[in-house]
Amino acid sequence: MKNTILIIAITLISLTGYAQSNSSVNLAKITKYVTTYPNGEEAIAIVENSSTNVLKLSSADNFYKYEILETATHEMIHRSDNRGKMCEIDKTKLDDGTYTLKVYTKDFVITSDITISNS
């Protein structure tokens, strides 16, 4: 009986140790930027996952283009046309730093500051 309890205890300790060491492997950092309309509704959301090379941009309204501007100089760094409410932006085209993102819908230009980290 003592041997059975000892075997069960050792097995449980081994499984717990394996589960703990295995769960720390994926340490991706996810950052979400949200810009709202004056009434408080979500206008755009930008999701950055540190383990991927894309930013996911979604809008409450269809947008036809977006622009990424250097924050200090307002110089355009990247722009793209779009159809629909979603797109992906390749982060590798941008250096690490803070940028201004402008999303153009039929009725609004929605502006948000974003920080890019490619590491």
Which carries the bigger pLDDT value, residue 2 or residue 35? Answer: 35
No. of H helices and E strands in the chain?
Answer: 1, 8
pLDDT at 66: 95
Q: Which helix (H) or strand (E) holds 41?
A: none
- Nearest CA to 35 out of 48, 19, 46, 24 is that of 46
pLDDT at 51: 85
Quick check: 91 and 118 in contact, CB under 8 A? Answer: yes
pLDDT in tens, 102-111: 999 998 898 8
Domains along the chain? 30-116 (2.60.40.3080)
pLDDT in tens, 46-99: 998 888 888 999 999 999 999 999 998 999 999 999 999 999 999 888 888 999
12 Cβ contact partners less than 8 Å away, ≥ 6 residues apart: none
Quick check: 24 and 92 in contact, CB under 8 A? Answer: no
Predicted TM-score (pTM) of the model is 0.70
